[in-house]
A = this chain, B = another copy of it.
Amino acid sequence: MSTQAAHPTLLIPGPIEFDDAVLQSMSHFSESHVAPGFVATFGETLSMLRQLFQSTDPAAQPFIISGSGTLGWDLVSANLIEPGEDALVLSTGYFGDSFADCLATYGAKPTKLEGPIGGRPQFPEIEKALSEKKYKLVTVTHVDTSTGVVSDLKGLVQAVKKVSPDTLVIADGVCSVACEEIAFEEWGLDGVITASQKAIGCPAGLSISIFSGRAMEAFKNRKSPPGSYFASMKNWTPIMQNYEAKKPSYFATPSPQLIHALNTALKQILARPLAERFQRHKEVSDKVKKAISDLGLQVVATKPEDQSHAMTAIYLPDGVQIPDVLPKLLSKGVIFAGGLHKQIATKYIRFGHMGVSVTDPSRTDVDKALDALKTSLEECGYKANA
B229, A77: Cβ atoms under 8 Å? yes
Tell me if A258 is interfacial: C-beta within 8 Å of chain B: yes
Report which of B5, B27, B65, B74 forms a contact with A23, defined as CB distance below 8 A: B27
Interface residue tally of chain A, by bracket? Answer: 35 or more
Report which of B29, B68, B227 forms a contact with A252, defined as CB distance below 8 A: B68
Q: How far is the CB of A70 from chain B (nearest CB, A)?
A: 4
CB-CB under 8 A from A304, the residues of chain B are none
CB-CB under 8 A from A14, the residues of chain B are 253
Tell me if A12 is interfacial: C-beta within 8 Å of chain B: yes
Report which of B27, B229, B335 forms a contact with A106, defined as CB distance below 8 A: B229
CB-CB under 8 A from A31, the residues of chain B are 7, 10, 15
Q: How far is the CB of A199 from chain B (nearest CB, A)?
A: 13
Q: Which residue of B lies closest to A201 (CB)?
A: B30
CA distance A33 to B15 in the complex (A): 8
Tell me if A73 is interfacial: C-beta within 8 Å of chain B: yes
Mark A23-64 against chain B: 1 for CB-CB distance below 8 A, else 0.
Answer: 110111111111100000000000000000000000000000
Report which of B77, B204, B227 forms a contact with A105, defined as CB distance below 8 A: B227
Q: How far is the CB of A24 from chain B (nearest CB, A)?
A: 6
User: How many identical subunits does the complex contain?
Assistant: 2
**Given A105-B225, A205-B66, A335-B35: A26 in contact with B29 (beta carbons within 8 A):** no
Q: Which residue of B lies closest to A225 (CB)?
A: B105
CB-CB under 8 A from A227, the residues of chain B are 105, 227
A251, B32: Cβ atoms under 8 Å? no
Tell me if A373 is interfacial: C-beta within 8 Å of chain B: no
CB-CB under 8 A from A66, the residues of chain B are 66-68, 71, 204-205
Tell me if A4 is interfacial: C-beta within 8 Å of chain B: yes
Tell me if A233 is interfacial: C-beta within 8 Å of chain B: no
CB-CB under 8 A from A225, the residues of chain B are 105
A101, B229: Cβ atoms under 8 Å? yes
Tell me if A118 is interfacial: C-beta within 8 Å of chain B: no
Tell me if A110 is interfacial: C-beta within 8 Å of chain B: no
Q: How far is the CB of A89 from chain B (nearest CB, A)?
A: 14
Query: Top 7 nearest A-B pairs by Cβ distance?
Result: A205-B255, A68-B252, A70-B252, A26-B26, A102-B229, A204-B255, A105-B229
